[in-house]
């Protein structure tokens, strides 16, 4: 089997738990908790958390501070107890420079921007919000994947607006395509992938789900056995030659980095469409750009950027030639960032802030071992 896929919900470095983390939560409760919201992205969570704190009458005991830029975060580091990354990298230098830090709380599942090993060594708990916590993040992201897929199939970003402006009814060449009957391959069968497969089969697409793990049984409460009309596969290479639409829903790991390379793209039939609602580096820049240029890939839509040698995947550069290509659609990581999702995640974040305030261990603690 090739190097390409590992679909665990998240990857945490296998570490031995030091006594420092348990020690920090065995200390007496804090009279006041200082919380830094780090980064300028996903701004809706901050006012929602403020609102919840006010509703629970905690605004005088839990102080939330915005740190939109890295310099703001560094200046706050010595005095904060909790840090929440919004696309901000939490490096070992920052963690070691925050002696009072008890918790790093991710909004969402992915922890690739957090140095978990350094946090563990310094006695800092790291928490995320797993997909199986009822936030509706998976449903929202799956909806967005459908939206991007249908936009590509129907040329919503290109041909249809031109026809509207010209006053021309119908008559498009090539004709827009329906999702009905399309051969769709979904890479990843976690919370997002499994939900997306259900939506696709409801719309009567022909769906193949690909993952590396065995298919005998569900692996967590966030996933389920596929319906009988969903083809199950463990080998992406086998499925690519018969794929009309490829949708990436898998997580970023060393094995999935640049998953969509020249090698794999060459296995797709000419005219295939590619959608990415996972992480940008799943797709290698030059491979997808060249495939679009020679029309081997007819359309590429992504809610994230791509893996580039010199540019960050997020925020993706809107002036890049790939962004300007007539057969691409980029959206700014909004798949799971909807009203109900933000509300639910803010509730979970504030619940953990209350626990830390009271000197108790937080929920969804990813670098905690079996001892405590």
Place of tokens 């007496």: 28
> Cβ distance 129 to 343 under 8 Å?
no
Q: Kindly report, residue by residue over 28-53, the tens digit of the pLDDT.
A: 788 899 999 999 998 899 999 999 99
> Cβ distance 340 to 136 under 8 Å?
yes
pLDDT-above-70 percentage for the chain: 89
- Structure token digits, residue 207: 């769906």
Arithmetic mean of pLDDT over the chain = 88
Name the burial class of residue 309, with classes exposed (0-12), middle (13-18) and buried (19+) by CB atoms within 10 angstroms of its CB.
exposed
The pLDDT value recorded for residue 18 is: 45
Place of tokens 């007819």: 298
- Structure token digits, residue 143: 């909806």
**Alpha carbon 275 to its chain's center:** 14
Over residues 238-266, the mean pLDDT reads: 95
- Indicate the domain borders of the chain: 19-133+338-357, 137-330
- Structure token digits, residue 106: 């991710």
Instruction: Name residues whose C-beta falls within 8 Å of residue 254's C-beta, 6 or more positions apart in sequence.
Output: none
The pLDDT value recorded for residue 12 is: 39
Tell me if 19-133+338-357 shares its fold with 137-330.
Answer: yes
pLDDT of 21 > 90? The answer is no
Please say whether the structural domain 19-133+338-357 has been given the CATH code 3.40.190.10.
no
In the CATH scheme, what architecture does the domain 137-330 have?
Answer: 3-Layer(aba) Sandwich (3.40)
Q: Kindly report, residue by residue over 42-93, the tens digit of the pLDDT.
A: 889 999 999 999 999 999 999 999 999 999 999 999 999 999 998 889 999 9
pLDDT of 258 > 60? The answer is yes
- Among candidates 348, 351, 355, which has minimal Cα distance to 29? 355
Name the burial class of residue 353, with classes exposed (0-12), middle (13-18) and buried (19+) by CB atoms within 10 angstroms of its CB.
buried
For the chain, the straight-line distance linking the first and the last C-alpha, in angstroms and rounded, comes to 37
Place of tokens 């009988």: 228
How far is it, in rounded angstroms, from Cα 107 to Cα 91? 17
The pLDDT value recorded for residue 8 is: 38
Q: Kindly report, residue by residue over 208-225, the tens digit of the pLDDT.
A: 999 988 987 555 554 566
């Amino acid at each position: 089997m090739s190097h390409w896929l590992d679909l665990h919900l998240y990857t945490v470095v296998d570490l031995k738990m030091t006594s420092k983390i348990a020690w920090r939560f065995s200390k007496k409760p804090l009279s006041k908790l200082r919380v830094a919201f780090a980064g300028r992205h996903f701004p809706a969570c901050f006012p929602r958390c403020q609102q919840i704190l006010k509703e629970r009458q905690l605004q005088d005991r839990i102080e939330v501070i915005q740190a939109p830029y890295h310099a703001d975060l560094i200046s706050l580091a010595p005095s904060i107890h909790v840090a929440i990354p919004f696309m901000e990298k939490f490096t070992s230098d920052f963690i070691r420079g925050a002696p009072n830090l008890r918790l790093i709380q991710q909004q969402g599942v992915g922890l690739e921007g957090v140095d978990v090993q350094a946090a563990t060594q310094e006695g800092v708990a790291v928490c995320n919000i797993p997909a199986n916590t009822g936030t509706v993040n998976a449903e929202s992201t799956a909806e967005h994947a459908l939206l991007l897929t249908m936009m590509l199939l129907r040329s919503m970003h290109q041909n249809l607006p031109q026809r509207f402006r010209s006053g021309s009814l119908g008559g498009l060449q090539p004709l827009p395509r329906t999702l009905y009957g399309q051969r769709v391959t979904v890479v990843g069968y976690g919370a997002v992938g499994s939900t997306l497969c259900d939506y696709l089969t409801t719309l009567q697409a022909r769906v193949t789900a690909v993952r590396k793990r065995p298919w005998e049984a569900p692996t967590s409460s966030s996933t389920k056995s596929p319906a009988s009309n969903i083809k199950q596969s463990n080998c992406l290479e086998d499925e690519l030659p018969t794929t009309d639409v490829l949708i990436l829903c898998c997580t970023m790991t060393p094995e999935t980095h640049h998953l969509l390379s020249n090698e794999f793209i060459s296995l797709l039939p000419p005219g295939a469409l590619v959608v990415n609602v996972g992480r940008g580096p799943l797709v290698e820049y030059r491979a997808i750009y060249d495939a679009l240029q020679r029309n081997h890939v007819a359309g590429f839509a992504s809610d994230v950027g791509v893996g580039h040698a010199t540019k960050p995947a997020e925020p993706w550069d809107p002036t890049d030639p790939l962004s300007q290509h007539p057969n691409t659609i980029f959206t700014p990581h909004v798949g799971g960032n909807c009203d109900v999702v933000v509300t639910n995640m803010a509730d979970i974040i504030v619940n953990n802030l209350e626990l830390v305030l009271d000197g108790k261990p937080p929920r969804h603690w990813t670098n905690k071992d079996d001892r405590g």
